[in-house]
């Protein structure tokens, strides 16, 4: 069946409305829906004239969120009673636009700007005819206000859901509608056609082309003359513009020409007029709805207007005067506001009007005027029986991909997450979803939120709450945070706002609430460091899976981070200190953390001479170089101060001791140099001299085996045949094959052969450059002129150690499934996201955003967004001043002006018309005075003095913390010096103290019982608790022993009493934790301590024993063979081995502690110590020596004990004799 509108209403004082979010009073008629079988029957029943029947298809000639809106709103009728055909560009498909998913059929159309697709009237009509649709709905924007569209559709026999062409032109054109308004004696603001009126004889009004032309200005000179007559400030407006496009405010005559050209560029071919700027006025919009039978207001009747329209007025509060501004011959963008206060489904009403229904036969209209929904009586709209009154208040918020911190610059990109929580009073819709995006030709507005309340304040509060819960993560910034700030300003709360209010806030640089800078520095450095370290681990694992052996230096947990903010450069050291923690150090302090479509004008950054690299019309990517600027005075440019220190004095990696390995290394350096991989001066020349000398020495050395006999294989046939023969000969040693071919390469002097060899699958096993595996990263962040330099070290699988200027922090870091990171530090947690952009890092903390700059080179003029270069405002080789406009680019259908960052001479690398990627180089700028460039100052402060999270007062929790630190260290998550050694000494001491404390087993037993209570038999629990209480009472006695054997007896006795095996299995399962605790203390507290040390030493040996088989490469190949299906395990072992020097310190500390405090060894511990003495590589010599010394000492002690025991009976006998005597 085909219901005319929604279904039954619920009981109660309120019922849900058509507008999805508001509620309306129940005094409206509560009748069942009237149902019909077909659209034809619906039209006949309600006196329509144009049934959209048979195929029942409508083309939606749009791609913005209005497409989603009509599909959603008319979709409340019977499913597929009306089918939707949409137009889709390649960019929309790539962006995964949401409206495509809701359509019944899509038609591919050309990509690019909208004149190729959604604004191409001929294309829309052609598609309508080819797809045999009955109607076209254009929404707003694109071709929605082009009178040619309804005209051509009418000729083709297709219904246009909107006004007829003549009415659309008369009221839709801003110039024509102002003349119509003046003819109807409706006040207008002073403009270039203020005195114009048309002839009107109670029939439809007609605007002649001659009259229309008198209101236009066709040249900048003519426009300036009109502006001088009107008086500045004025607005230059394109009559076919809208939505912020084709409109510019001009404050003085000097800017008029440039602004006029921008309006022309944004709306090419559109007539232009000049209007007086109204200051301190309120902007009002009135939604019109007119049928085909004259039911309309006077202004619409004058031109025979039909369907929905929007009249815009300006209201001067000081004088109480109203002025007609314009009429948009389409549905209002904010029309859901009307829907929610009037409870009228406007897209559905438009469709019914297009079907020929009179207004009084539309259900929602009848209900609005208090009539029976299915009645046939006519309504006198001029003098109705019941005048409509709005229910409540609605506030709308447009969600756009614009950056409020950069003059609302629009940007395109992908969306990773979009989560909006609708409620009964707040509703929203979006044209994109997660995994979708916005392309450079899309509208920057992609979402709309509407909040209803019984009062304006309730609506405002509801919207603020909804926006704070709105989560959008993508490649672009949005206006959400700024909207929250606007809604919470006193002026908005008290409704003291006008058209100049927002401009004043922007001029005052009012910004949305930002997170604390230092919190941003900490979170940003951790996110950057974690991204680098994770990438290194993934690359290393991927190389292993491919059979490539990489040096272990890549696996590191330390990262240095630099952040620049407000002229300060912050340098921090971040160390991942555990699976979920980080240690952050800066300037001697530290922290520990748990890490669970507009036209934009570009201003010259400095004064100088511009050289264009792109020409107008070029499409721009973010950061694209538009041109260069030869600065007038480079010394005036402010730049961040460079760090004058040096790298720490560390030994450079030495070449292999084997001559053939050294020879290959030298040859690789020379070949890389010839391939273009050269070092900068002053490093290149001395290194080349040294390498050439050593390379020639290796060739002259008679001990260098060039495998000349094996080279004979190369000449037995073609290269491929010979290599295949070598592969068959050395099946288990692909390195040998590589060595033979490398040797042949030197003899034949074919320097590019090595590159070809790498490409063969059977030559995998190539050794990559060292230094790739590392857990330490240096990060620089710039914010507000400060450069923060941090060192981040991954101190565990989920922990980081962050150092900055001698201070540090430790954090827990947990990766979230949505790509975010949960950081925990100082007793607080933060949900964070990182976006690495061309020129900045964007860090989202909660629902707040902080932006850190990257080091910028003002001599490079780059595109801030993807788009197209329209025009260069300076000749190639010309000069620009700082802040002077040097180019115009088109971004998301708007023109943006680029300003010179410094003064200088511009050289263009791109020409007008070039398509730009973000960050594309448009041109270069030869600075007038490079010394004037402002640089960020290094941040010399430390982390804030906040209390670090204290370990739990319970000894067992502290013990677990210490053990985790030691296990992480043995896994390779070591801190950098000078933090590593003192911390290890402290942790080992506290770890051993906790093991000697007799209260540790008691606390562990209490924790186990608290989790198993109620799951084990009551009798068993009572007996165990009794033994626990007895031990607790005697815990201070030196004779007290933890009752592990007694507890084990209780468990065994109860298990023996269970006759069924199934019952015994369940019992042992429920007491598993208790059994494990008993086993740990089966040899008492001292035995538990030795077992704990044994476990740590065994962990060390299990890793290091893998590297005793020969060369590093051979050891890694053996690991690959052992862990064929788990390359992550191989990477973890290599990562741990990479920190062997720091692990050696821990092992020796543990042995020294046993040596000085424990007189004996268990068998397991002695066996492990013996195993450690077998480590024969030089890097293990310190540990092996200490193990031998310990074993020797323990052997002496053991011998002394044996001798004493043997002498004891003799001593006793002698004593007895003496006593008896």
In the chain, % of residues over pLDDT 70? 76
The yes or no reply on domain 2-162 and CATH 3.90.960.10 is no
Q: Write down the pLDDT at residue 250.
A: 92
Assess whether pLDDT exceeds 60 at residue 1119: yes
pLDDT tens, residue by residue, 180-229: 888 888 888 999 999 898 887 766 777 888 898 999 999 999 999 999 99
- Residues composing the chain: 1221
Cα separation, 83 vs 1016, in Å, equals: 64
User: Predicted confidence band at 819 (pLDDT cuts at 50, 70, 90)?
Assistant: confident
Assess whether pLDDT exceeds 80 at residue 361: yes
Average pLDDT over residues 966-979: 89
Q: Write down the pLDDT at residue 831.
A: 85
**Selection from 1183, 610, 1169, 1207 nearest residue 924 by Cα:** 610
**Collapsed DSSP state (helix, strand, coil) of residue 216:** coil
Average pLDDT over residues 497-502: 82
Decide if 463 contacts 449 (C-beta within 8 A): yes
**Collapsed DSSP state (helix, strand, coil) of residue 759:** coil
Assess whether pLDDT exceeds 50 at residue 707: no
Decide if 305 contacts 223 (C-beta within 8 A): no
Question: Which tokens hold the place of 686?
Answer: 């001395």
Alpha carbons within 13 angstroms on the beta-carbon side of residue 860 total 14
Decide if 1130 contacts 1120 (C-beta within 8 A): yes
Average pLDDT over residues 764-776: 54
pLDDT tens, residue by residue, 717-730: 445 555 556 566 66
**Span of 534-548, 856-870, 913-927, 1115-1129 with lowest mean pLDDT:** 534-548
Beta carbons within 10 angstroms of residue 987's beta carbon = 19
Cα separation, 931 vs 312, in Å, equals: 53
Assess whether pLDDT exceeds 60 at residue 759: no
**Span of 179-183, 550-554, 908-912, 1192-1196 with lowest mean pLDDT:** 550-554
User: Predicted confidence band at 1193 (pLDDT cuts at 50, 70, 90)?
Assistant: low
> Taking all residues of the chain, what is their mean pLDDT, rounded to a whole number?
77
**Selection from 602, 627, 629, 632 nearest residue 615 by Cα:** 627
**Span of 143-152, 764-773, 815-824, 881-890 with lowest mean pLDDT:** 764-773
pLDDT tens, residue by residue, 275-331: 998 888 888 888 888 888 776 677 777 777 888 888 888 888 888 888 888 887 888
pLDDT tens, residue by residue, 470-483: 888 887 888 888 88
| CATH 3.40.50.20 boundaries in the chain | 2-162
Assess whether pLDDT exceeds 80 at residue 36: no
Reply yes or no on whether 1086 is catalytic. Answer: no
Cα separation, 908 vs 922, in Å, equals: 6
Options 3.30.1180.20, 3.30.470.20, 3.40.50.970, 3.30.300.30; which CATH number does 393-507 get? Answer: 3.30.470.20
In the chain, % of residues over pLDDT 90? 9
pLDDT tens, residue by residue, 58-85: 888 887 656 555 656 565 555 567 788 8
Q: Are strands 588-594 and 807-815 parallel, antiparallel or unpaired?
A: parallel
Q: Write down the pLDDT at residue 377.
A: 85
* pTM tops 0.75: no
pLDDT tens, residue by residue, 241-283: 776 778 899 999 999 998 998 898 888 888 999 999 888 888 8
Q: Write down the pLDDT at residue 125.
A: 92
Q: Write down the pLDDT at residue 746.
A: 44
**Selection from 202, 186, 204 nearest residue 194 by Cα:** 186
Assess whether pLDDT exceeds 80 at residue 578: no
Average pLDDT over residues 135-156: 86
Decide if 851 contacts 840 (C-beta within 8 A): yes
User: Predicted confidence band at 450 (pLDDT cuts at 50, 70, 90)?
Assistant: very high
**Selection from 166, 63, 159 nearest residue 106 by Cα:** 63
Assess whether pLDDT exceeds 90 at residue 234: yes
**Collapsed DSSP state (helix, strand, coil) of residue 317:** coil
User: Predicted confidence band at 581 (pLDDT cuts at 50, 70, 90)?
Assistant: low
Architecture of domain 211-277: 2-Layer Sandwich (3.30)
pLDDT tens, residue by residue, 998-1023: 999 888 888 888 888 888 888 888 98
User: Predicted confidence band at 865 (pLDDT cuts at 50, 70, 90)?
Assistant: confident
Average pLDDT over residues 974-998: 89
Cis peptide before 316 (omega within 30 of 0): no
User: Predicted confidence band at 387 (pLDDT cuts at 50, 70, 90)?
Assistant: confident
Which helix (DSSP H) or strand (DSSP E) does residue 264 occupy? helix 256-266
Of the candidates 45, 261, 282, 330, the residue annotated as catalytic is: 330
Would you list the DSSP string of 1096-1155?
HHHHHHHHHGGG-SSSHHHHHHHHHHHTTT-HHHHHHHHHHHTTHHHHHHHHHHHHHHHH
Q: Write down the pLDDT at residue 393.
A: 93
Q: Write down the pLDDT at residue 559.
A: 72
Assess whether pLDDT exceeds 70 at residue 756: no
| CATH 2.40.50.100 boundaries in the chain | 599-643+855-936
Q: Write down the pLDDT at residue 452.
A: 92
Assess whether pLDDT exceeds 90 at residue 457: yes
The fold adopted by the segment(s) 599-643+855-936 is OB fold (Dihydrolipoamide Acetyltransferase, E2P) (2.40.50)
Q: Write down the pLDDT at residue 67.
A: 59
**Selection from 704, 698, 715, 766 nearest residue 737 by Cα:** 766
Question: Which tokens hold the place of 690?
Answer: 């040294």
Assess whether pLDDT exceeds 50 at residue 770: no
Q: Write down the pLDDT at residue 1087.
A: 85
Q: Write down the pLDDT at residue 1214.
A: 43
Q: Write down the pLDDT at residue 455.
A: 92
SS3 assignment for 568-605: EEEEEEEEEEECCEEEEEECEEEEEEECCCEEEEEECC
Q: Write down the pLDDT at residue 655.
A: 35
**Span of 383-392, 461-470, 611-620, 864-873 with lowest mean pLDDT:** 611-620
CA distances from 128 to 88, 102, 161 (A): 14, 19, 13
Residue pointed to by tokens 């939606």: 60
Q: Write down the pLDDT at residue 757.
A: 31
């Amino acid at each position: 069946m085909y219901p005319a509108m929604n279904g039954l209403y619920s009981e109660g004082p309120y019922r849900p409305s058509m507008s999805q979010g508001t509620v309306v009073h129940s005094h409206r008629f509560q009748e069942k829906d009237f149902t019909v079988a077909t659209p034809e029957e619906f039209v006949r029943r309600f006196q329509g004239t144009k049934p959209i029947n048979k195929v029942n298809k409508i083309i939606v000639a749009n791609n913005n969120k209005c497409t989603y809106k009509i599909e959603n709103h008319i979709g409340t009728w019977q499913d597929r009673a009306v089918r939707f055909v949409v137009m889709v560009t390649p960019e929309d498909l790539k962006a995964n636009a949401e409206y495509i998913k809701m359509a019944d059929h899509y038609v591919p159309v050309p990509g690019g700007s909208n004149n190729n697709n959604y604004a191409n009237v001929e294309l829309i009509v052609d598609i309508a005819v080819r797809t045999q649709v009955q109607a076209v709905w254009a929404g707003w924007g694109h071709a929605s206000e082009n009178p040619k569209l309804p005209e051509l559709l009418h000729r083709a026999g297709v219904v246009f859901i909107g006004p007829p062409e003549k009415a659309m032109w008369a009221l839709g054109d801003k110039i024509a509608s102002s003349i119509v308004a003046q003819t109807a004696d409706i006040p207008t603001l002073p403009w270039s056609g203020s005195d114009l009126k048309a002839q009107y004889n109670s029939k439809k009004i007609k605007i002649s082309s001659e009259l229309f032309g008198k209101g236009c200005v066709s040249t900048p000179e003519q426009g300036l003359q009109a502006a001088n007559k009107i008086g500045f400030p004025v607005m230059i407006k394109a009559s076919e513009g809208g939505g912020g496009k084709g409109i510019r405010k001009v404050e003085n005559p000097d800017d008029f020409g440039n602004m006029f050209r921008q309006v022309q560029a944004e709306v090419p071919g559109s007539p232009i007029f000049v209007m007086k700027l109204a200051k301190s006025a309120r902007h009002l919009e009135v939604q019109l709805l007119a049928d085909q039978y004259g039911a309309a207001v006077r202004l619409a009747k004058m031109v025979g207007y039909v369907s929905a329209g929007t009249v815009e007025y300006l209201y001067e509060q000081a004088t109480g005067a109203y002025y007609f501004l314009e009429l948009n011959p389409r549905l209002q963008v904010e029309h859901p506001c009307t829907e929610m206060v009037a409870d009228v489904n406007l897209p559905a009403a438009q469709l019914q009007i297009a079907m020929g229904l009179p207004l009084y036969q539309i259900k929602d209209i009848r209900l609005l005027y208090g009539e029976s929904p299915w009645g046939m009586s006519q309504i006198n709209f001029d003098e109705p029986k019941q005048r409509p009154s709005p229910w409540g208040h609605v506030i709308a918020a447009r969600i756009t991909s614009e950056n409020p911190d950069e003059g609302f610059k629009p940007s395109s990109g992908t969306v990773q997450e979009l989560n909006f929580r609708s409620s009964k009073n707040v509703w929203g819709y979006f044209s994109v979803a997660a995994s979708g995006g916005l392309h450079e030709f899309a509208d920057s507005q992609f979402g709309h939120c509407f909040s209803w309340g019984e009062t304006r304040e309730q609506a405002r509060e509801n919207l603020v709450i909804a926006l704070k819960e709105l989560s959008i993560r993508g490649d672009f910034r949005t206006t959400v945070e700024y909207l929250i700030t606007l809604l919470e300003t006193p002026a908005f709360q008290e409704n003291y706002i006008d058209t100049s209010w927002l401009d004043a806030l922007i001029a005052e640089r009012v910004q949305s609430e930002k997170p604390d800078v230092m919190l941003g520095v900490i979170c940003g450095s951790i996110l950057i460091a974690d991204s680098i370290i994770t990438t290194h681990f993934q690359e290393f694992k991927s190389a292993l899976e491919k059979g490539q052996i990489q040096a272990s230096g890549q696996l590191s947990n330390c990262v240095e981070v630099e952040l620049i903010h407000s002229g300060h450069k912050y340098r921090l050291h971040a160390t991942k200190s555990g699976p979920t923690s980080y240690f952050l150090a800066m300037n001697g302090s530290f922290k520990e953390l748990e890490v669970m479509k507009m036209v934009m004008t570009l201003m010259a950054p400095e004064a100088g001479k511009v050289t264009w690299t792109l020409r107008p019309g070029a499409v721009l990517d973010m950061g694209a170089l538009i041109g260069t600027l030869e600065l007038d005075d480079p010394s005036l440019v402010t730049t961040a101060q460079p760090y004058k220190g040096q790298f720490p004095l560390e030994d450079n990696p030495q070449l292999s001791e084997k001559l053939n390995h050294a020879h290959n290394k030298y040859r690789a350096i020379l070949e890389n140099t010839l391939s273009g991989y050269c070092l900068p001066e002053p490093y290149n020349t001395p290194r080349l001299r040294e390498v050439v000398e050593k390379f020639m020495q290796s060739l002259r050395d008679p001990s260098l085996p060039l495998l000349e006999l094996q080279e004979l294989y190369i000449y037995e046939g073609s290269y491929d045949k010979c290599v295949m023969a070598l592969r068959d000969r050395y099946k288990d040693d692909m390195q040998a094959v590589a060595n033979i071919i490398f040797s042949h390469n030197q003899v034949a002097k074919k320097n590019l052969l090595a590159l070809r060899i790498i490409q063969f699958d059977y030559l995998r096993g190539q050794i990559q450059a060292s230094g790739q595996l590392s857990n330490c990263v240096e990060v620089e962040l710039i914010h507000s002129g400060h450069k923060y330099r941090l060192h981040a070290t991954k101190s565990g699988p989920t922990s980081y150690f962050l150092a900055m200027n001698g201070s540090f922090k430790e954090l827990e870091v947990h990766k979230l499934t949505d790509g975010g990171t949960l950081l925990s530090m100082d007793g607080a947690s933060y949900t964070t996201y990182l976006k690495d952009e061309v020129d900045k890092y964007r860090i989202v903390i909660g629902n707040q955003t902080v932006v850190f700059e990257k080091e910028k080179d003002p001599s490079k003029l780059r595109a801030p967004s993807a788009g197209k270069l329209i025009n260069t405002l300076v000749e190639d080789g010309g000069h620009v001043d700082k802040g002077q406009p040097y180019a115009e680019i088109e971004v998301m259908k708007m023109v943006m002006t680029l300003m010179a960052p410094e003064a200088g001479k511009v050289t263009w690398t791109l020409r007008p018309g070039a398509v730009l990627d973000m960050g594309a180089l448009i041109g270069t700028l030869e600075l007038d005075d490079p010394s004037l460039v402002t640089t960020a100052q290094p941040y010399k402060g430390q982390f804030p003095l906040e209390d670090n999270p204290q370990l739990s007062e319970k000894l067992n929790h502290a013990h677990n913390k210490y053990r985790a630190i030691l296990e992480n260290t043995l896994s390779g998550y070591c801190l950098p010096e000078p933090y590593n050694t003192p911390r290890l000494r402290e942790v080992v001491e506290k770890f051993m103290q906790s093991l000697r404390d007799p209260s540790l087993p008691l606390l562990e037993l209490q924790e186990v019982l608290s989790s198993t209570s109620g799951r084990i038999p009551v009798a068993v629990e009572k007996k165990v608790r009794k033994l626990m209480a007895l031990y607790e009472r005697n815990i201070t006695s030196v004779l007290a022993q933890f009752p592990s054997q007694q507890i084990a007896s209780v468990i065994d006795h109860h298990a023996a009493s269970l006759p069924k095996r199934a019952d015994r299995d369940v019992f042992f399962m429920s007491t598993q934790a208790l059994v494990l605790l008993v086993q740990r203390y089966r040899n008492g507290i001292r035995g538990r301590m030795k077992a704990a040390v044994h476990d740590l030493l065994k962990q060390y040996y299990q890793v290091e024993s893998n590297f005793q088989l020969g060369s590093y490469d051979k050891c890694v190949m053996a690991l690959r063979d052992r862990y064929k299906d788990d390359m992550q395990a191989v990477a973890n072992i290599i990562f741990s081995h990479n920190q062997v020097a720091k692990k050696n310190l821990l092992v020796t500390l543990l042995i020294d502690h046993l040596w000085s405090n424990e007189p004996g060894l268990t068998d397991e511990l002695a066996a492990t110590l013996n195993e450690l003495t077998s480590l024969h590589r030089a890097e293990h010599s310190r540990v092996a020596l200490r193990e031998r010394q310990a074993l020797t000492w323990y052997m002496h002690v053991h011998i002394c004990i044996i001798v004493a025991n043997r002498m004891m009976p003799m001593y006793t006998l002698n004593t007895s004799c003496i006593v008896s005597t």
